[in-house]
């Protein structure tokens, strides 16, 4: 355990050691607010908002909803957590940070790059900054930069995924870092969540199952495909992003592509995805070709966030009695 428990500031507001993962075009106001009022950290990528102005509106709306819930129930919600893409390709980064600072977030997750450029400002605002990492080398660099916690992206995570076995990754990082760790990849129920704790993690991501909730922004066809799919339907490819990405094989086929005969690495690019002539309705990654993690085998039906978290909590309690 770390000498200072950084999560103590909001641990008593959590019903589960869980984060509803930030998912592109999926995580929105309804999903985040529902997760937080159920005691699960609700996160979303700031780029899900069309502009910094909409980001401000989202944060205000979520805050108002959670305040109303707290006033009515007497129970404080879990933190809202923004996810910042810190790569230089994010032209909005500075303006999004300005918005976040006005709302004084409790927790922020950085992705696709070093957290160093945003750490000081976010720390000054009182936020814990967690860095999304996919290798031991990147974890070491994030710790050296001053990240408060790490999100370990492991094999089996949906979308742009990691490649390390979670058992190996967690134990290797625990050898040099005693701060908060979040396991991302393969968390499909409360049993897996309890196992992540036993492995040495403080929190875990759950993503794919939150896609298949009524509150997510995902297309209804996407949710239905998750219910109908299993881990055998997850296809690892570099064709869509240039990085290893877990996608739903049925969605690739539905988009008119052969999963076993895709273009070379990164050839299908955002904004001009999939060269099928001048058609404006050509399929695009994320919107028409959908991602999921290995945990899709745990998606049996589309539930409300309330129902899904309640089931996960019951599973977690049962798993805890077996230890």
36's tokens? 């937080």
Q: How far is CA 166 from the centre of its chain?
A: 16
Annotate 165-223 with DSSP letters as a single string. -HHHHHHHHHTT--S-EEEES---SHHHHHHHHHHT-SEEEE-HHHHTBTTS-S-HHHH
Q: Which domains does the chain have, with CATH numbers?
A: 6-216+301-321 (3.20.20.70), 230-291 (no CATH)
Say whether pLDDT at 3 is over 80.
Answer: no
Give the N- to C-terminal CA distance of the chain in Å, as an integer. Answer: 19
- Using CA atoms, how far apart are residues 27 and 108, in angstroms rounded to an integer? 15
Q: How far is CA 23 from the centre of its chain?
A: 5
Instruction: Find the radius of gyration of the CA atoms of the chain.
Output: 19
What pLDDT digit, counting tens, does each position of 193-244 carry? 999 999 999 999 999 999 999 999 999 999 999 999 999 999 999 888 888 8
What pLDDT digit, counting tens, does each position of 73-126 carry? 999 999 999 999 999 889 999 999 999 999 999 999 999 999 999 999 999 999
- Using CA atoms, how far apart are residues 92 and 20, in angstroms rounded to an integer? 24
297's tokens? 């085998």
What pLDDT digit, counting tens, does each position of 184-203 carry? 999 999 999 999 999 999 99
pLDDT of res. 262: 85
pLDDT of res. 62: 98
What pLDDT digit, counting tens, does each position of 257-308 carry? 899 888 766 544 433 333 323 344 555 666 789 999 999 999 999 999 999 9
In this prediction, residue 134 has a pLDDT band, given cuts at 50, 70 and 90, of: very high
pLDDT of res. 269: 43
pLDDT of res. 275: 34
């Amino acid at each position: 355990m770390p000498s200072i428990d950084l999560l103590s500031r909001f641990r008593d507001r959590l019903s589960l050691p869980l984060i509803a993962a930030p998912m592109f075009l999926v995580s929105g106001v309804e999903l985040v607010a529902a997760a937080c009022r159920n005691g699960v950290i609700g996160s979303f990528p700031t780029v899900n908002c069309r502009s910094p102005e909409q980001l401000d509106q989202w944060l205000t709306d979520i805050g108002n909803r959670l305040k109303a819930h707290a006033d009515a129930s007497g129970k404080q919600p879990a933190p809202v957590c923004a996810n910042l893409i810190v790569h230089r390709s994010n032209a909005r980064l500075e303006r999004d940070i300005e918005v976040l600072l006005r709302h004084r977030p409790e927790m922020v997750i950085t992705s696709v790059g070093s957290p160093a450029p945003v750490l000081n400002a976010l720390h000054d605002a009182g936020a814990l900054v967690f860095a999304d990492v996919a290798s031991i080398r990147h974890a070491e660099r994030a710790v050296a930069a001053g990240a408060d916690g790490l999100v370990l992206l492991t094999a089996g995570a949906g979308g742009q995924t990691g490649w390390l076995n979670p058992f190996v990754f967690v134990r290797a990082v625990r050898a040099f870092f005693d701060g908060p760790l979040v396991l991302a990849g393969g968390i499909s129920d409360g049993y897996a969540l309890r196992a992540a704790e036993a492995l040495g993690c403080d929190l875990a991501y759950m993503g794919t199952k939150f896609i298949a909730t009524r509150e997510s922004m995902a297309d209804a066809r996407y949710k239905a495909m998750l219910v109908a799919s299993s881990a055998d339907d997850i296809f690892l490819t570099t064709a869509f992003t240039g990085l290893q990405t877990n996608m739903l094989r049925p969605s690739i086929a539905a988009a008119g592509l052969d999963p076993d005969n895709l273009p070379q690495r990164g050839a299908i690019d955002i904004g001009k995805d999939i060269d099928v002539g001048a058609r404006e309705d050509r399929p695009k990654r994320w919107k028409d070709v959908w991602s999921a993690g290995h945990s899709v085998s745990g998606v049996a039906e589309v539930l409300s966030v309330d129902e899904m978290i309640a089931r996960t909590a019951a599973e977690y309690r049962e798993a805890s009695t077996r230890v």
